[in-house]
Structures are given as C-alpha cells and as structure tokens.
Structure 1
C-alpha cells in the first residue's frame, strides 16, 4: 500500500487549529498523513482527540521577539528536516513567517500559506513597515499563497507584497460552515422559550444580536449609540451581546460598558461556547466592524437563517449582498447603522425576504464540504505538478 503524503498544518497558537479548522483536519487525514503543529495547550489536545491527527508542540510567540522567534525557527527547521513533509500549510501570521522560512531552509517542496486577514493595513509608522517586510519574507519563502477572500487578495496586490499568484479557495473562508450544525431546526422551541424567559425577551420583541469580542474595532461604540437612539423610538427592541469584554483602561471605553450595563434592553451574556440558541431567538445579526478577514459569525448567522447588517468592508461584503441577504452600511457611521436597524424594524416584508435568502446563500456557496473538497483538490494538483 502506497504511503499517504505527509501534510503539516501549522498555526501560532492551538486555538486557531481548534476553532478555524474544526472537522477539516479529520477529513484531510483520510487522504493525507496530517500533523497539526502549534504551541502547547488544551486546544492542541482537543485537536488530537477530535480530529484523530498527530500533533506536535513548537512554541511560537505572537509578538515580535527576535530571541524567541529564532528559537522557534530552529525547532521548526529541525523537525521538518527529520520528518520530511511533502506539504506544510500555515494559517496565522507568525506561524506563516517562521514555517515558510524554516520550510525553505529545510527543503520542504510545497510550502503553502493562507492569509486569514492582514494586520499591516490598519497600522502606521514603524510597525506597519515591519509587518510589511515580514509578510514579504513570508511570501518570498512560500511556494503557494492563498488569501482567504477577495479583499485580502486586493490588499496583498495593492501593497505589492508579492508578485506570486494568489488563489482564493472555493468562494472564500478558511473552513466553510457546518450547515447541519448551524441550522435553525436543531434548536427546539422549548430551548428558545426557556432562553427568552431567562433573558426577559418577549414574543413581540424584535431582537438584534452581536457576536464577537466586545471591542471598539468591532464597531461596538457605533452599535451601542445606534441602538440607544432607536430604542428611544421603539421600546420593543432588544440587543443581545455575545462575547468576552476587553480589558478597559480608557475612560471612553469605560463609558461604553457602563452604558451597556445600565441599559435595560441591552443584554450582555459574555462568551458562549454554543451561540446557536442566541441566534435562534434573534431576528438580525449586526456586525459594524472596522475590519475583518472573512467573518465566520456572519456565515454562521446566515446558516441559522438570520439576515445581517454589516459594514461594507472586505470579507463582510463578500458574504452579504445589499438587500439580498442583508444590508451593507459604511463603517464608523452611527447614523447609517441606525437607519439600517430602523429599516429592519419598519419593513417586515424586507426582513422576510432577506431571511429566505440568508441560509440558501450560505448553503450554496460556503458549505464546509465545498471548501474541504476544493482544498483537497488543490493539494492533489500541486503534488502532481511537483512530482512531474
């Protein structure tokens, strides 16, 4: 029996492997000998158990640290030399830089990196220049490059990061959506009734939901302001915030969280392992983020049948088509965000139309099986080309 090609999937921290590649590694392990590489942690153990793949610990630090980075580079180099993988494929910035460089030095024939989002476009000065140089080195050492979406691809081209071909797998997103798991039918009426009762949400309430880290860059300031203004006109609306709160030192940020805490119709439930019940009792997802790679939460909400109000930015506007499955608004624009929320409240026929399209579009374009099949096909194509 012919040995399966060796495939190493690499991220800086194990949480990325656990959350971003859920199910994908098990699927790929049927066709390749998969090893998942990252720093140590419970998430890496979860990946080993759930996905049934080999794992290997190599610490990589997210912040720039010359001493630590050289140490990680050395460990990656020797592991690659020893194991001789056919393909290495990284998905986070630091892991990409170190593994592509180590792979080139170790003679790994196929070195792939997926850009799940870019940091440098949102930085300035010395840090921006440093991050651009790092991404240029990464691209120089990789043999194949994959932006997660068209927006990321455009940034790589516009900033002249690389002249190499850039390919988006399937219709974008690193893993696709499990449309059987994220499905409105899986949440029982009893579960929904109990959750509504717990959160003091009534049958005639219209519920907006935000899912993500409660940080300024996710548009939290504009969301809270827009909701407060709209709630003065309509007391039958609620806003559920699902996500962990950032550490607050700045006075302005403290004021935002004080407003959230004091507002009777804003319900903050913290981080939730399973967000589906909260989607199931909501009418519309709102994500007025300043920047995204390819937001999983918008895909998940769509699979649950929710229309979305999102910023007209890369990633979001690759999932949401204006007035087809949601509404696009300019980023950092409280007035336009409030107008979109008001439109959802005043035009039930529009909401119904958006709801009908929401799940259909995700199932047709972003089903995990589509993404996985295209990725497998890409690996096999490159292996064949490399052999020839």
Structure 2
C-alpha cells in the first residue's frame, strides 16, 4: 500500500536522506508509527512536509520512503495568511503523479492542510483521505490566554512588534488559522481522533464526518525504563514546555510559590530554551513576564531551563523528577503526559481537553482545574508528602499508558483504517 502523509515538520528520516541536521525535536509519535507501518515491506510512505528554506519542491527517496518538501512562507503559515492556491496545485501534481492508495493529513492547524484536502477533493481522492486531529487552533483560541494579565497580552518587545509575534498577535493568528481549520474539517469526509474532546469538537463542525478512534504510538525509548523514588531528585518538578502562553508556565510559578513554604528545596526543571533571556528590544513579552514573575516570587534559584532536549535526555529528566507537571490551558492528548505515564512518573495535570481520557484522577495521577494554581500546589505537595508511595500512582498510570500507546495495536488500527479507506 502506498500511503501519502502530510506532516507539520520534516521527519528525521528525511533529515538523514538530505544529510541535514535536525533543528527541531518533535513529531516523535510520527517516527514511531512510521517504523511500525514499514515493518510490512508491502507498505511504502510518501512523506510531504512544509519546506521553509527552499523556494522549489525538494524531493528524494530511499527504499520504501519517498518525500516532497512543499515550499511555503513560514511567517504566512504562522500568521494564517498563506494563500493556498499554489500549494494546492503542488499537491494536485503530486497526487496525480504518485497515485497513493490513501492520504493521511496529520493535523489541521496550518493552511497547507487545507490545501491538501482541497487537492484531494479536486483529484477525486477525498473518500481516501483522512485528517488526524492533533490540536485544534479554532478551539485553542478560546483558551489561549490562560489567566494571563491583560498588560502582558497587549505588550510587545521591539522584535515582536517588527515580526508581529506578540501574545495578542499569536492569538489573532489562531483565530485566522482556526477559520481555515474549520473549513478543512467541513470539507473532509474522514477524521481520526483520540479523545472525547476532539470527537465532539470535530463533529460539531461537520456532523456528517466519519470519525475513526485511533491512539498514538509514542517515541520508542519511552517504552523502557521505570521511575523509582530512590533514583529521583526529591522535591523536583519537571515541565516539558514553557515557550508559549498555552503551556501556562506562569501557573506553575504561582503554585510553586505556595509549595516552597512547605518544601524550601523545591526545584523546577524546564525543557526548552530559556525564555527569560533577552529584553524589551530582542526578547519576547511572555518571557519577560516570566522573568519578572520568577524574580518577584524569589524563585531565581528554583527554576532552571534545560535547553532543547532530544528523546533520551527528556526521558532522563522525567526519571529524575519527583513529579511531572503539565499545566497547559488547553491540550488534546498531550504526548509528554503519555510519555511520563509510560515511565511511571507521578503526574499532575490540568483538567483540559482529553487529559481525563488519558489519566484517571487520584488513581493514576492528579488532575486539577486549569485556572486554580492553588490546587496544582496542593497536588504537587501531595506527591512530595507521599514519598515512595507516589510510585503506586505511577504504576497504575504506566499500565494504562501501555494500553493507550501500544505500538503494535495502534499501528494495526491505523492500517485497518487505511485499508477501509483504500477500498
């Protein structure tokens, strides 16, 4: 079976073929699924992705993988102002040349997904096309600010002013991209999702769409290793992202200010670049807000940004943490939570999107109202207070995650969907 994928990033296998250094750690679940699908030598994958560096289509192949990098303007994609006609025409040519059995669009967040679903419609492939729900910017926009003060929402550094990338600018881009996303889902005939949250938000846009339930396979290294209390750093918190407002790192700081009254040695380790660097000229306004918040709450010695982490380093940080915290203002089915659960790390997460489908409150972890940092503090303290007993939460979470993210079952399910569409 020849399967065409559209992904939001260039996958590592393409980097290897092009001999390019990967500049973004992400999409690990795609690599996991790719590996499982290609275990069957009768399958081949045609990978399409947005190409931001070249102005012409980049293509290549090896064994049963081929790829096309479709040139698009990165800024227009981010802002939601991309004109999709030329992109759609590129996809039409690729479909007509390659004649895939199935088209799988991974994500609806960017306008090139709209271009491909329209190309599928034009070429008669719409019945053989399925759209996966990752996040939904049309819904995320309603939760974008996550209790952020108004003065931070409207502030901009000079750099953000020049490139239109302040907090409010990003919110407005979500609104624009959300309109295109809704059109994509309205045109599509088939959708693949994971949670009750993405189900209801999808069918509310297109009541006639066919919804396929299918969970994700996560990065392979998270399927081995298990959290142990004796091997963790007591009273340490690991957060996997803080770079955007949606990830609500500011709520963690509010919570840890409370926790510190009981555990003066509490530490927060954050994956990703240090967003507090820079200033009102070359920094970003959310990062400047975080910098001032850290200082005001006297948490300078508590917070450490770790830089970009590959899968193995991310795993190591999770295993060393006393608790994994996911404080987002909105999520669908967060892979970082799934990875922490696979390792048996005690987890605390905001009750947003599909999180409650993934983890059962007080049995497998703790879930708190997203706008209540005092409850986040309560559950972090509860994990710290329980000491070695926290491993019981992790053990049950691990069992649940092994079912949700079973690579063999999930890849079989995806292939079942592909085979049904290919008919």
Q: TM-score, normalised by structure 2?
A: 0.75
Rounded Cα–Cα distance in structure 2 between residues aligned with 1:112 and 1:258:
48
Verify the 8 A CA contact 1:308 1:320 in the aligned structure 2. Answer: no
Verify the 8 A CA contact 1:307 1:351 in the aligned structure 2. Answer: yes
Corresponding residue for 2:263? 234
| Pair 1:139–1:121, CA change in 2 (3 A) | closer
| Structure 1 unaligned regions, length at least 5 | none
1:155 offset after TM fit, Å?
A: 1.6
SS of equivalent to 1:234:
coil
Match of 2:304 among 251, 267, 277: 267
Corresponding residue for 2:224? 183
Corresponding residue for 2:86? 71
1:270 offset after TM fit, Å?
A: 2.0
1:150-173 per-residue CA deviation (whole Å, 9 max, x = no partner) reads 211122234x3442122221xx3x
1:102 offset after TM fit, Å?
A: 0.5
Verify the 8 A CA contact 1:139 1:162 in the aligned structure 2. Answer: no
1:89-112 per-residue CA deviation (whole Å, 9 max, x = no partner) reads 111223321111001102225111
1:57-94 per-residue CA deviation (whole Å, 9 max, x = no partner) reads 21245233354x21111111111122222211111223
Match of 2:47 among 11, 36, 52: 36
Match of 1:144 among 184, 190, 193: 190
Corresponding residue for 2:107? 92
Q: Is 1:123 the counterpart of 2:146 in the alignment?
A: no
SS of equivalent to 2:324:
strand
| Pair 1:166–1:261, CA change in 2 (3 A) | farther
1:253-291 per-residue CA deviation (whole Å, 9 max, x = no partner) reads 441354699522333212211211111211210111101
Verify the 8 A CA contact 1:8 1:35 in the aligned structure 2. Answer: yes
Q: Is 1:249 the counterpart of 2:285 in the alignment?
A: yes
Match of 2:30 among 13, 21, 29: 21
SS of equivalent to 2:45:
strand
SS of equivalent to 1:166:
strand
Aligned length in residues: 358
Rounded Cα–Cα distance in structure 2 between residues aligned with 1:278 and 1:17:
16
Rounded Cα–Cα distance in structure 1 between residues aligned with 2:34 and 2:90:
23
1:36 offset after TM fit, Å?
A: 0.5
CA RMSD of aligned residues (A): 3.2
SS of equivalent to 1:163:
coil
| Pair 1:256–1:162, CA change in 2 (3 A) | farther
| Pair 1:235–1:316, CA change in 2 (3 A) | same
Matches within 5 A, 1:201-220: 205-220=234-249
Q: Which of structures 1 and 2 has the larger relative contact order (alpha carbons within 8 angstroms, sep 6+)?
A: 2
Corresponding residue for 1:334? 373
1:334 offset after TM fit, Å?
A: 1.1
Moved more, 136-145 or 358-367: 136-145
| Structure 2 unaligned regions, length at least 5 | 12-24, 143-170, 276-282
Rounded Cα–Cα distance in structure 2 between residues aligned with 1:325 and 1:331:
18
Matches within 5 A, 1:38-53: 38-40=49-51, 53=65
SS of equivalent to 2:412:
helix
Verify the 8 A CA contact 2:347 2:365 in the aligned structure 1. Answer: yes
1:21 offset after TM fit, Å?
A: 0.5
SS of equivalent to 1:227:
helix
Match of 2:69 among 57, 60, 78: 57
Verify the 8 A CA contact 1:132 1:161 in the aligned structure 2. Answer: no
Corresponding residue for 2:147? none
Rounded Cα–Cα distance in structure 1 between residues aligned with 2:140 and 2:35:
35
| Pair 1:161–1:272, CA change in 2 (3 A) | same
Q: Is 1:280 the counterpart of 2:319 in the alignment?
A: yes
